[in-house]
Structure 1
Amino acid sequence: MADSSFFDELRDNSLVKAEIVAQYFWAWAKVIIKTAKKGSNKIAYIDLFSGPGRYQDGSKSTPLLILERAIADPDMSQMLVTLFNDKNSNHTQSLKQAIASIPDIGRLRHEPIVLNKEVGEEIFQAIQQINNNVPTLFFVDPWGYKGLSLKLIRSLIKGWGCDCIFFFNYNKINPGLNNPKVKEHMNSLFGQERVNVLQPELKLMSPEQRELTIVNAICKALEEVGGSHVQDFCFKNAKANRTSHYLIFVSKSRIGHSIIKDIMGRKSSIFDQGVPSFEYNPAPAIQLSLFDIKPPDELENMLLDEFAGKTLTMLEVYNQHHVGKRYIKKNYKQALLKLEAEGKIITNPSKRTENTFGDSVEITFLPK
């Protein structure tokens, strides 16, 4: 059973996590709804480890944020199907009460489903009944790692418009990778072959190298099961300034990746010349994230090298270059504005509102 104190001890982290998921859901839904109207006329949100309705400090959990936003939107209130599950009966009872107390909950065409089950075959059957040809955002937030696997993630994102955001508990997974008692869980999460390679490598690494290697490994594993677009976001423990966990987004959608990247970038606690760390720290330290964050002038040089002699729109430059890097769209626009001022690129139109760089602006990179 999950430690219920989690919902008290990690208040700040939990709030940021809930905001990221809720903000992405809204942006995702706005993109998906137009196409969904032509098909099933439904979109879905499914949370497999939903927790209680509220945290100990009274903050609303993700299910409440999702439902309240849906009620206020005419399309969403008629299209949204929700399923919330938690094996802790105290959590599901709390969630049911919190949902029932939401003003105007009756405006939702589809009544929220709350289940009290282990994540397994019964849950999968319930999911299939809901998301058959229905675009779905899945949130998977286990306390540890039990129930989380590559097989599960592959099954969740296989349909059109299906994205997944999940909780990657680094604090527990890090020691678990060299613990024979949980080898089966690690194999299901990373793949047995990858675990066999990781185990001897990790023993020789510093804590920083170890963390980077583990995160890169899970991202690679997700790509191999169909998640062509993966984005991670780190949460630090304020008391020890150590990594607690990650929130990881996985999707087949380029647009979804761009949306979540901007949302996570804005939630970062640390910025280096406008470049986000993709890290939330309740008590930020002076040093930057352990990940390599290159300043904007490095981005300018990278663009000049990669696109020399080519003509593309700003959006094409961003889409072709940002995957796997810590830059957000704002960083690209700032870099291109500087290159334009230095005469290193030619833009069309060249006359625009000052300090703006629209997605459709055409850029010609001069040959080297």
Structure 2
Amino acid sequence: MSKEAIWDIAAHTSVKHDLLRTYLGAWFPILGKFNRRVVFMDGFAGPGRYLNGEPGSPAIALGTFLDHNYAANLSGTEYIFVFTENHAERFASLEQVVEAERVARGGWPEHVKVIVENKNFTEVAEDILGSLGHKDLAPTFAFLDPFGYKDVPMDVIRRLMSYSKSELFIYFDINSLNRFATAGQQVDVHFEALYGTTEFKNAPAAGDPGRQQFLHDLYERQLKNVCGFKHVRSFEMLGANGKAINYLFFCTNSSVGFDRMKGAMWKAAPSGDFRFRDSLGGQPVLFQPEPDTAPLQSQLLETFAGKTVDISTLADFVVTSTPYVSSHLKTRTLVPLQLAGKISSPNQRRPKQFPPGTQVTFPSLPAIATD
């Protein structure tokens, strides 16, 4: 098999797979409890394995579900796995991997359906949408890990993800975009499909330090405005040299799901080969074993200055508006602020304790002197 069809696994790919495994371990049972059908779609499934036999994302998704200790309780829900790969040699390998998985398990359970397609993501998505007619989609988790910027149209994502409980985890190849955006008509058609707009043509010229941020921010805005996701967050992957490898975007309408995925990021990120980075209030936030919550402390003091708010309001803000997770709020953030005398509470029974119902008071910001 050629090198184009199967290759060594990269460190950042292993981490994407760890994130997928961790998150799906929670997503599958939660969605299965309340829905009759759940769909996992791997839009760029690849060969299904790597050069030294490491499992690809299809085997990881199947194994995460089938080996889950809660799987026996989910037989009342139909689970559909859709794996698509357009490249002929990769597809041949993918078929072998999926079939070997089926045989090793003595066949798929009755409530599990596995579809392997030798088509590109757009074709399969259109097939699914066409077969539904006017019916609603089932909750769908779409894992899209394309090479470059082709075959991930914003409009197709919008329609495929139209069910409110659907979620998207997508690789965003910022280096390819930075290189080819505004290059001319031959690529413009792909960029217009990717963004769902021609606004990418307004990106600063190549070499401008604001170009990459513009292309990133436009994509984030389109995922919110076009696809209707309530929560969209990107995670910048940095290589060992400190330069950006790519971005991972996670999109959902669930604040619980949002918190869980960010938690998986914090857990998986530390490595000698790469790191995750985000920002808050203009300050960089590196995902590391011992989180530095200084940016979060500053943001809370600024956002809630002069107000008394419930602890639940603060938790919601942390989850939906910052790179941090709910578990970072109390011990790592509010306690240091209280010990420093920067916050108080009118109804707190014990210092450093913030149970439900606790009110937190933030001081007003100092007045800015004017001439």
Number of residue pairs matched by the alignment: 341
Residue 364 in structure 1 maps to residue 360 in structure 2: yes
Give TM-score, length-normalised by structure 1: 0.81
Residue 336 in structure 1 maps to residue 327 in structure 2: no
Q: Following TM superposition, where does structure 1 have runs of at least 4 consecutive aligned residues deviating by more than 6 angstroms?
A: 288-291
2:367 maps to which residue? none
The one-letter code matched in structure 2 to 1:47 is: D
1:218 maps to which residue? 219
2:289 maps to which residue? none
Which one of the candidate residues 74, 98, 110 is aligned to 2:72?
A: 74
Aligned-residue CA RMSD (Å) = 3.0
Q: Is the 8 A contact 2:318 2:326 kept in 1?
A: no
Tell me the alpha carbon deviations over residues 276-322 of structure 1, each in whole angstroms, 9 at most, x when there is no partner. xxxx761569xx87983265234224323333332312x43122245
DSSP 3-state at the match of 1:217: helix
1:182 maps to which residue? 187
Tell me the alpha carbon deviations over residues 171-204 of structure 1, each in whole angstroms, 9 at most, x when there is no partner. 2111111311201111222244421221xx2446
Q: Percent identity?
A: 21
For residues 1-368 of structure 1, the aligned pairs below 5 Å read 5=4, 8-36=7-35, 41-72=36-67, 73-76=71-74, 79=77, 80-102=79-101, 103-104=104-105, 105-107=107-109, 109-121=111-123, 123-126=125-128, 129=131, 132-180=136-184, 181-198=186-203, 201-203=204-206, 205-206=208-209, 209-225=210-226, 226-238=228-240, 241-269=242-270, 282=273, 292-293=283-284, 296-307=293-304, 308-313=306-311, 315-333=312-330, 334-343=332-341, 344-346=343-345, 350-351=349-350, 360=356, 362-366=358-362, 368=364
Tell me the alpha carbon deviations over residues 21-59 of structure 1, each in whole angstroms, 9 at most, x when there is no partner. 2222222233322321xxxx1211011111122111211
Contiguous gaps of at least 5 residues in structure 1: 270-279
Query: Structure 1 pair 339/243, CA: closer, same or farther in 2 (3 Å)?
Result: closer
The one-letter code matched in structure 2 to 1:249 is: F
Tell me the alpha carbon deviations over residues 70-116 of structure 1, each in whole angstroms, 9 at most, x when there is no partner. 11321346531111111123223322222232332433522311111
* Distance in 2 of aligned mates of 1:248 and 1:7: 25
* Distance in 1 of aligned mates of 2:129 and 2:22: 23
Q: Is the 8 A contact 2:237 2:274 kept in 1?
A: no
Q: Is the 8 A contact 1:43 1:135 kept in 2?
A: yes
DSSP 3-state at the match of 1:187: helix
Give TM-score, length-normalised by structure 2: 0.80
How far residue 340 of structure 1 moved from its aligned partner, in angstroms, is: 3.3
Query: Structure 1 pair 214/236, CA: closer, same or farther in 2 (3 Å)?
Result: same
DSSP 3-state at the match of 1:13: helix
Q: Is the 8 A contact 2:129 2:160 kept in 1?
A: no
* Distance in 1 of aligned mates of 2:224 and 2:248: 16
